Structure 1
């Protein structure tokens, strides 16, 4: 059920209108909805319903109206009800089922928007909930002013915030008519008058802008006996001087909460574009591939491209430290800064928080938590505007999941990556192309393996890497491990040991005094040295 207070008071269940009864009964419901989940004393209801001289039967009349409303709500069958609490009544409902509270929530989210376009989208959505003056058909204007004056002021401020955002985007010509009408209706709102003056100046109508400023000065002096504020006075003087500071500034790069990388991403431009396209077409995209192939880095790069397309931005939830699948949903809630303030269950709180939001959720390293896949599915069902991007070695096997395997780099990109990282590390010797290609091939062009190999060139010249290893399945002479994805690795001997510990049926790394008999020994239980 949706309760509507921002205009004529009413209720809807889907497309069906719910009949709420006569005016006073609808006013009682509106008063309870404004204070949803909080007790409203009967005496206060009487004062609002009969603001003058209430009849002696007023308490009984309130009781009858509440009883009628309970019957209406029970017939609807929704999770909305009226409870008796002491000497008052309480409407139990999700606050976001009331359009007034949903409006306030949307305005609060807009203030946290990552950029002006996202802010405008959120404010448009919030302001679109208004269908006239609040409580338009149940209360007199003076009662509406006392009850809903704060809501109306928040609406006006939201409209001014929206105009500011559009001015920053250079849309002064498009909104001139809107601002002019708005300013004529509210001639004493100095911030609004300043926005109109600035828009006119940027549109090449400085004379008209100065006329508006002078007219406002005269109106304030005549009606209120005051001068304009310092901000409007400074703006008028700047227009008079044709101050270049009033010109449209180039848009700033939007601020992002995504982690910044110290090195550039190499060889993934097409992959990033493909992931961006897939996320735009599906609500669940999973990047799969072996460890070290660059799933996380690719996902973050795509998320940065997508940041401005989602009204509520991108939230990254690292799951590598989590070991219990039951902790995935609480970790997501913490990443989204969801707090349980009403004592509801975690799922109810998460659903209420995300129901009208439009975020991109990046779940990184879900490979060991696949038992939590049903929770991800529930999250997508509970939040219809949520999109999820996952990195995992295995698919989640959920309905609607779009898989995007991540492959190793092609040879030119792998060589470029190795060369750049080796130079950053202060490589010893020349980085000739044959040597670099041999190392990258031995590393199977996995970005992580290539970067680790490049890092060791600070201590060991890369040239011996080309010939000192017996094949692509062995350890490299830099101490970096097998290039075959999924093969077990053999580490160098620990201090005081004479042999390494190669995986069963795998060659020795060649850096210790292992005999063929050691490499062919029987399988034994895995120990902490295996990775």
Structure 2
């Protein structure tokens, strides 16, 4: 089974889509797909579909959604090109203790592929192999075709998971930009960073990278203006000042000293990412 979630939800078996068009079954499939090969509990599915007050018919209705998904999977299994698959729909969408499990049987998952490539990129960054880091992280980010689960109306569980995926994407993006800066590509990054800092106006790492790219491109006053815009947004929205690392970068630019490699070290951890 192949699963795409970094964009519109697309789940297929033997190349045949099993993604339902109805919103609630689509939610169920999205939950199972994001936790592929793991049991998703019935209470979690209840909460995702109906919040804290599921109807009395919740269990029966959920069973109906699972049946609809299995019917689609059964239809896709008949398209096995080799005619050798002994699997049934119940082998793919498994009833497990306390919940359900979607078995991928080694199929592709864009989320898992993203996590693998991003991890390789992070390790390359730690090793100082910036060309390799930039390549791996660029490949990871290329898997995103839009917001995660763009065509699924999320309940509380999916909403949280979509936020986590977006945070992972931003972390990978920040590290890819850092790798490109280490490779001297500051002028190439200016257009991309201009868009990003406008969209994520309180994201310190992106602002720091924008400041660095501007300063290295001979646009010192614009780099300092970018810091002040970020500071105003942070104070207005959160009542906080920019981090010490970003203030040090500002001082370096004010004194017109070339910033050392790694001047933004400490701005790239997830715990320091602030997104409005």
State the TM-score, normalized to the length of structure 2: 0.82
Secondary structure at the residue paired with 1:131? coil
- Determine if the alignment matches structure 1 residue 99 to structure 2 residue 113: no
Deviation at 1:219, TM superposition (A): 1.6
Among candidates 112, 126, 130, match of residue 144 of structure 2: 130
Report which of the two has the higher share of helix. Answer: 2
Aligned to 2:57: 57
C-alpha spacing 1:36/1:56, structure 2 compared with 1 (3 Å): same
Partner residue of 1:192? Answer: 206
Could you report, residue by residue, the CA deviation over 1:385-431 in whole angstroms, capped at 9, with x for unpaired residues?
xxxxxxxxxxxxxxxxxxxxxxxxxxxxxxxxxxxxxxxxxxxxxxx
Give the secondary-structure state (helix, strand or coil) at the position aligned to 2:164. helix
Match runs of 1:206-285 below 5 Å:
206-246=220-260
Partner Cα distance (2:166, 2:226) in 1: 25
Which deviates further from its counterpart, 202-211 or 3-12? 3-12
The structure 2 residue matched to 1:82, chosen from 79, 93, 96, is: 93
What's the offset of the Cα at 1:21?
A: 3.9
* Per-residue deviation, 1:164: 0.3
SS of 1:11's partner is: strand
Report the counterpart of residue 274 of structure 2 in structure 1: none
Q: Which has the higher contact order (CA 8 A, sep 6+)?
A: 2
Specify the alignment match of 1:70 in structure 2: 70
Runs of 5+ unmatched residues, structure 1: 250-531
Among 126, 140, 153, the residue aligned to 1:139 = 153
Q: Which residue in 2 is equivalent to 1:20? A: 20
What is the distance in 1 between the residues matched to 2:112 and 2:261? 38
Preserved CA contact (<8 Å) 1:6 1:132: yes
Q: Distance in 1 between matches of 2:250 and 2:42?
A: 52
* Inter-partner Cα distance in structure 2 for 1:109 and 1:186: 26
2:122 to 97, 108, 111: 111
- Alpha-carbon distance in 1 for matches of 2:120, 2:103: 24
1:175-217 Cα deviation digits (max 9, x unpaired): 1111111111111111111000000000110010001111211
Query: How far apart are the structure 2 equivalents of 1:133 and 1:142?
Result: 17
- Deviation of residue 226 (structure 1)? 0.9
Contact map agreement 1:110 1:122 (CA 8 A) in 2? yes
Q: Does the 8 A contact of 1:11 with 1:20 survive in 2?
A: no
Query: Which residue of structure 2 aligns with residue 153 of structure 1?
Result: 167
Q: What is the rounded CA distance, in whole Å, between the counterparts of 2:107 and 2:182 in structure 1?
A: 31
Alpha-carbon distance in structure 2 between the residues aligned to 1:99 and 1:164: 24
Once the two structures are overlaid, the 10-residue window that deviates more, 142-151 or 176-185, is: 142-151
